Amino acid sequence: MSKNSRELLQQIKKEIRETNVQDVNERIKTDSNTAVLDVREKEEWDEGHLPNAIHVPRGFLELRVEKAVDDRNKPVIVYCAGGTRSAFAAKTLKDMGYTNVVSMAGGYGDWKNAGLPFVLPEKLSKNKLARYSRHLKIPEIGEAGQLKLMQSKVLLVGAGGLGSPAGVYLAASGIGTIGIIDSDTVDESNLQRQILHWTSSVGMPKVDSARRTLFEVNPEVKVQTYNLRMDASNVLDIFKDYDVIISGSDNFQTAYLVNDAAVMLRKPVCYGSIFRFDGQISTFVPFQGPCFRCIFSHPAPPDLAPSCDEAGVMGILPGVVGLIQATEAVKVLLNIGEPLIGRYLAYDALAMTFRTLKVRRDPNCATCGANAHIDLNAIQADGCSGPTS
């Protein structure tokens, strides 16, 4: 026999558990393990919501809830405006196998009337809604993700072949602050691949040339420049302000310095290297996966690790590698997808193949192993002119 909506709601309410706003307030204060799901529409969410709530509109519940709450035994509180939609949502979650779900009776209306704390979501201004509209359409990014990117700080170690494409796309993506370390000036031989720098930039400090380009790409981005040679005396002071470090290196000393400083400060490093037609990329998140030194415990002999100046590089190669590093940086910042943690990606442009090698932490690693002892001053400086090619 078919039911009208009132009869259906009455039946649903018999099958689910409900709680009141005061109880929810007590629970979220004392139990951080409970997931709070807001199943209202976006316009309602934008008017304010419970602290730490996750927004999954009712219409997308079945599609998105597993991403929001992956453990079906985790306690879940569902709420809407008045307690009706959340009752239906609670029934759906129960049917999907969630074992510990309650619906907040009275909903956000009762919550606000009781004077309980709520947060107003930060919102993008109208011009930013337009600029980042293609990000906003992606559920994994959306407005919250874009706001996160705009609050993020990414450091480019070097404004060269890898830093160039990474910097341009990260600026376009709306990263809030991009830091750039480089002590070089732009040379004509850079222009074949270092797209931050233009013909008119030859002779300029690379950091100034980079700042000019990034401003043209996106004037909203704050560009912080460091026209200096990175060493043990300054690396920690610079790194400490950033969320992610993008680094490529054609010499082992810089790679070790970046790695060891990043492990000390627990900063993720999106690493890339290039050689003629070959690129290598990995993402080093300290203590979650191997670090650079876990994989390369000793520097290769200089004749096996020539710089781009010596070996040459196809101009387009760093574009591919630098953009994979930038992609990894966005994933790490937004905590989406599967970054290259514990994986080493090898790109062969001539064969047009990508191979992934599994890499593991070295328990005896001098940087992140059980008996690690990091001494930045012991990393020998070399005579190379810049950290990236």
Residue numbers of the site for Zn ion (CB under 5 A)? 291, 293-294, 365, 367-368
Which own/partner pairs from 228-235 qualify as long-range (CB within 8 Å, at least 24 positions apart)? 228/181, 228/183, 229/183, 230/157, 230/181, 230/254, 230/257, 230/258, 230/387, 231/257, 231/381, 232/257, 232/376, 232/377, 232/379, 235/261, 235/376
Q: Are 340 and 358 in contact (CB under 8 A)?
A: no
When the beta carbons of 291 and 326 are compared against Zn ion, the nearer one is 291
When the beta carbons of 327 and 367 are compared against Zn ion, the nearer one is 367
Instruction: Please state the closest distance from residue 297 (CB atom) to Zn ion, in A.
Output: 8
Instruction: Please state the closest distance from residue 365 (CB atom) to Zn ion, in A.
Output: 3
When the beta carbons of 65 and 255 are compared against Zn ion, the nearer one is 255
Opening angle at CA 275, ends 270 and 281, nearest 5:
20
When the beta carbons of 69 and 368 are compared against Zn ion, the nearer one is 368
Q: Are 111 and 79 in contact (CB under 8 A)?
A: yes
When the beta carbons of 69 and 294 are compared against Zn ion, the nearer one is 294
39 Cβ contact list (under 8 Å, min separation 6): 56, 57, 58, 61, 78, 79, 80, 85, 86, 89
When the beta carbons of 12 and 365 are compared against Zn ion, the nearer one is 365
How many other CB atoms sit within 10 Å of the CB of residue 177? Answer: 17
Instruction: Please state the closest distance from residue 291 (CB atom) to Zn ion, in A.
Output: 3
Instruction: Please state the closest distance from residue 362 (CB atom) to Zn ion, in A.
Output: 6
Instruction: Please state the closest distance from residue 368 (CB atom) to Zn ion, in A.
Output: 3
Hunting for tokens 């981005």 — which residue is that?
221
Residue facing Zn ion at closest CB distance: 365
Instruction: Please state the closest distance from residue 235 (CB atom) to Zn ion, in A.
Output: 17
